[in-house]
């Protein structure tokens, strides 16, 4: 699979964020790079919403007082994204509807 490396990297970064081990700007830039690669690859259409949500999470951090606060606020989403990226990596069926259909309500 062409997207194995960015997919695993994104999942690892999110796992570290959840453990509060990666909250710096560099971590967000690494995550942004991985997500950009995943957006450019043709992924399972059922996971596009997941990728869009993570991308919005990265962009929205600018509206928080700190990266740490942003991560804590989105901890449930981060847990779900880790599960969904694992499912995508294992080539399981989709789990999300389109981000636009969700109206961005979880971000």
Residue extents of the structural domains in the chain: 4-91
Q: What are the residues whose beta carbons fall under 8 Å from the beta carbon of 12, sequence distance 6 or more?
A: none
Tokens of 65: 């007082």
Computed over every residue of the chain, the mean pLDDT equals: 84
Q: What are the residues whose beta carbons fall under 8 Å from the beta carbon of 79, sequence distance 6 or more?
A: 18
**pLDDT tens per residue across span 58-105:** 999 989 999 999 999 999 999 999 999 998 888 765 555 555 555 555
Predicted TM-score (pTM) of this structure: 0.81
For the chain, what is the radius of gyration of the CA atoms? 13
The helix or strand, by DSSP H or E, that contains position 10, with its residue range, turns out to be: helix 4-18
**Rounded to an integer, what distance in angstroms lies between the CA atom of residue 34 and that of residue 5?**
8
**pLDDT tens per residue across span 23-61:** 889 999 999 999 999 988 877 778 888 999 999 999 999
Euclidean distance between the first and the last CA atom of the chain, given in angstroms as a whole number: 29
Other C-beta atoms lying within 10 Å of the C-beta of residue 87: 18
């Amino acid at each position: 699979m062409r997207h194995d490396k960015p997919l695993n990297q994104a999942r690892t970064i999110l796992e570290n964020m959840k453990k509060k081990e990666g909250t710096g700007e560099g971590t967000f830039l690494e995550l942004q790079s991985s997500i950009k690669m995943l957006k450019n690859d043709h992924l399972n259409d059922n996971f596009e919403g997941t990728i869009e949500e993570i991308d919005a999470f990265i962009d929205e951090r600018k509206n928080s007082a700190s990266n740490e606060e942003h991560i804590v606020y989105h901890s449930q989403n981060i847990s779900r994204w880790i599960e969904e990226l694992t499912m995508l990596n294992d080539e399981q069926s989709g789990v999300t509807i389109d981000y636009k259909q969700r109206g961005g309500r979880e971000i």
